[in-house]
């Protein structure tokens, strides 16, 4: 009978951690973090946003993709989580004296956004839909009458709680309700004096709304603009990223601890998702032994050596963490491979700093492997992490290598994926941590377990 290792075994690269049975958190059961700071601390970096708008000649950003609306407003549109698309629009002007504006469904603003928000720095333009009964008297000139927003009916005023009082007050402070999203956007742009300006948009639906209302603003694509803005994290984002990353690591470690109690890779993935949820994260995906397919289900056996790459999110901000698991004694080649990527990753971390190009990150990793006298195909792929697993400007079809020219920036959260892209090494190997780029270098934003878990 194979016994569990209960001591730390250190290789030349210092990359092994022996794991005993899972015993849960040392301080008791895991608990989700307190995220109440998001009701009052703004995620988006206004100064950085206006700098890039100035650079690109934009008078405003008008965005409808949920991640971008969330970044600007701290609210992820609830309807977009229910199968609808582009239901809310956020508008930020380059002029710092112009307030942020939100175009939102009236009921979802009242019911979902209001309890999340203590912000008073924005204008709300709610919409419902045309009131068909009142439309009979409408002559078809101008905006049709709008349906009254749905709200909870007050049964006994003395029994109304603070949450409902806040909801009523915030909807009451919003602009007059519009009969459609197009009419609400029209009102917002006119009040902000942006109807004839240069607007950066992130979705074709915005162009359709502008066309519907005959607004002839100069419209330009700006999805990569807002991704560039998001590269450097605000203090609120960094706080949220620390939660997301640490909870993701803790869930991965707890899952690795339980490997000998888990029969198959599908069960392993389910265990990670469960462990993440206990800590306040939602599972996004998990790569196991080189595949992210949730249809693949392989038995976990003695002698296996396989990688895990764990991604989960806390309030939409992502953790990303990868390690290798030895179930008992691996093939000697696996130890050599894992030692090599551990050495390369340690060397690479000391060289991460603002101004280093993405292309140089990959080059430095490959050079470290070569210096060790090995011929290994390791990706060393850098990517920014935040609202997405890959949260930097996207390359175009015409310039697929355009991301190579990106440089590390202060307050960026960087991952360098180090999977070994080799078959026939006795398993699969991976190593990945999240690093905060600082003025003079880089540091992990989560606890850093050794590179290999031995169970």
CATH 3.40.350.10 in the chain, residue ranges: 46-230
Residue 399 has pLDDT above 70, yes or no: no
Residue 441 has pLDDT above 70, yes or no: yes
**pLDDT-wise least confident of 108-122, 252-266, 409-423:** 108-122
pLDDT, residue 253, reads: 98
pLDDT, residue 11, reads: 34
139: pLDDT confidence band, cut at 50, 70 and 90?
low
What is the overall mean pLDDT for the chain? 91
- Cβ atoms 227, 52 nearer than 8 A: no
CA-angle at 89, arms to 410 and 145, nearest 5°:
165
Determine what percent of the chain is predicted with pLDDT higher than 70.
91
Give the mean pLDDT of 426-431.
Answer: 97
Spatial distance between the Cα atoms of 329 and 13, rounded to a whole number of angstroms: 17
Spatial distance between the Cα atoms of 393 and 227, rounded to a whole number of angstroms: 5
For helices 235-257 and 265-278, angle between their N-to-C axes, nearest 10 degrees: 140
CATH 3.90.230.10 in the chain, residue ranges: 16-35+232-454
CATH topology of domain 16-35+232-454: Creatine Amidinohydrolase (3.90.230)
* Structure tokens that stand for 357 in this block: 């190009």
10: pLDDT confidence band, cut at 50, 70 and 90?
very low
Q: In this predicted model, what pLDDT tens digit does every residue of 11-59 receive, in sequence order?
A: 333 456 777 544 444 457 899 999 999 999 999 999 999 999 999 999 9
Q: In this predicted model, what pLDDT tens digit does every residue of 283-300 receive, in sequence order?
A: 999 999 999 999 999 999
Backbone phi and psi for residue 103, each to the nearest 5 degrees, phi listed first: -105, 115
Spatial distance between the Cα atoms of 323 and 256, rounded to a whole number of angstroms: 9
Place of tokens 């950003």: 61
C-alpha gyration radius of the chain: 25
pLDDT, residue 405, reads: 80
404: pLDDT confidence band, cut at 50, 70 and 90?
low
Pick the CATH number of 46-230 from 3.40.350.10, 3.40.50.300, 1.20.1290.10, 3.40.50.720: 3.40.350.10
Q: In this predicted model, what pLDDT tens digit does every residue of 161-201 receive, in sequence order?
A: 999 999 999 999 999 999 999 999 999 999 999 999 999 99
Residue 7 has pLDDT above 50, yes or no: no
pLDDT, residue 28, reads: 74
Place of tokens 């075994």: 9
Give the mean pLDDT of 316-330.
Answer: 97
Give the mean pLDDT of 135-139.
Answer: 64
Q: Of 54, 127, 126, 64, which Cα lies nearest the Cα of 93?
A: 54
Residue 213 has pLDDT above 50, yes or no: yes
pLDDT, residue 199, reads: 98
215: pLDDT confidence band, cut at 50, 70 and 90?
very high
Residue 425 has pLDDT above 90, yes or no: yes
Q: What is the pTM for the complete model shown? A: 0.92
- HEC states along the chain? CCCCCCCCCCCCCCCEEECCCCCCCCCCCCCCCCCHHHHCCCCCCHHHHHHHHHHCCCCEEEECCHHHHHHHHCCCCHHHHCCCCCCCEEEEECCCCCCEEEEEEHHHHHHHHHHHCCCCCEEEEEECCECHHHHCCCCCCCCCCECCCCCCCCCCHHHCCHHHHHHHHHHHHCCCCECCHHHHHHHHHHHCCCCCCEEEECCHHHHHHHHHHCCCCEEEECHHHHHHHHCCCCHHHHHHHHHHHHHHHHHHHHHHHCHHHCCEHHHHHHHHHHHHHHCCCEEEEEEECCECCCCCCCECCCCCEEEEEEEEEECCEEEEEEEEEECCCCCHHHHHHHHHHHHHHHHHHCCCCCCCEHHHHHHHHHHHHHHCCCCCCECCEEEECCCCCCCCCCCCCCCCCHHHHCECCCCCEEEEECCECCCCCCCCCCCECEEEEECCEEEECCCCCCCEEEC
140: pLDDT confidence band, cut at 50, 70 and 90?
low
395: pLDDT confidence band, cut at 50, 70 and 90?
confident
Spatial distance between the Cα atoms of 437 and 414, rounded to a whole number of angstroms: 7
Residue 62 has pLDDT above 90, yes or no: yes
Residue 2 has pLDDT above 90, yes or no: no
């Amino acid at each position: 009978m194979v016994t569990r290792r209960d001591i730390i075994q250190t290789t030349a690269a210092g990359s092994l951690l022996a794991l005993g049975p899972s015993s849960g958190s040392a301080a008791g059961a895991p608990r989700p973090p307190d995220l109440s700071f998001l009701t009052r601390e703004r995620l988006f970096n206004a100064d950085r946003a206006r700098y890039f708008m100035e650079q690109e000649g934009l008078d405003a950003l008008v965005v409808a993709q949920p991640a971008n609306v969330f970044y600007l407003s701290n609210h992820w549109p609830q309807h977009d989580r229910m199968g609808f698309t582009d239901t809310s629009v956020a508008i930020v002007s380059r002029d710092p004296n112009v307030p942020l504006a939100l175009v939102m469904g009236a009921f979802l603003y009242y019911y979902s956004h209001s309890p999340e928000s203590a912000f008073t720095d924005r204008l709300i333009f709610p919409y419902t839909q045309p009131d068909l009964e009142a439309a009979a008297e409408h002559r078809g000139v101008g905006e049709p009458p709008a349906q009254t927003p749905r709200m909870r009916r007050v049964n006994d005023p003395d029994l109304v709680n603070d949450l409902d009082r806040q909801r009523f007050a915030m909807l009451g402070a919003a602009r007059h309700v519009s009969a459609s999203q197009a009419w609400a956007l029209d009102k917002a742009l006119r009040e902000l004096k942006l109807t004839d300006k240069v607007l950066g948009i992130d979705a074709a639906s915005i162009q359709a709304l502008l066309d519907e209302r005959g607004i002839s603003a100069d419209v330009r694509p700006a999805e990569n603009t807002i991704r560039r803005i998001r590269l450097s994290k605000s203090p609120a984002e960094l706080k949220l990223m620390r939660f997301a990353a640490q909870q993701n690591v803790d869930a991965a470690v707890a899952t690795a601890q339980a490997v000998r109690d888990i029969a198959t890779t599908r069960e392993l993935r389910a265990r990670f998702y469960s462990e993440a949820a206990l800590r306040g994260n939602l599972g996004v995906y998990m790569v196991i032994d080189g595949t992210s397919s949730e249809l693949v289900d392989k038995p976990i056996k003695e002698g296996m050596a396989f990688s895990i790459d764990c991604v989960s999110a806390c309030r939409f901000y992502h953790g990303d963490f990868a390690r290798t698991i030895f179930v008992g004694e691996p093939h000697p080649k696996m130890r050599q491979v894992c030692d090599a990527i551990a050495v390369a990753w340690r060397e690479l971390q000391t060289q991460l700093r603002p101004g280093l190009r993405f292309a140089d990150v990959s080059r430095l990793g490959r050079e470290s492997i070569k210096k060790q006298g090995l011929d290994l195909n390791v990706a060393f792929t850098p990517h920014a992490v935040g609202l997405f697993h890959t949260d930097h400007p996207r390359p175009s079809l015409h310039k697929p290598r355009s991301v190579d020219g990106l440089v590390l920036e202060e307050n960026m959260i960087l991952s360098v994926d180090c999977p070994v892209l080799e078959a026939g090494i006795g398993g699969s190997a991976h190593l990945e941590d999240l690093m905060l780029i600082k003025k003079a270098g880089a540091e992990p934003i989560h606890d850093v377990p050794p590179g290999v878990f031995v169970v």
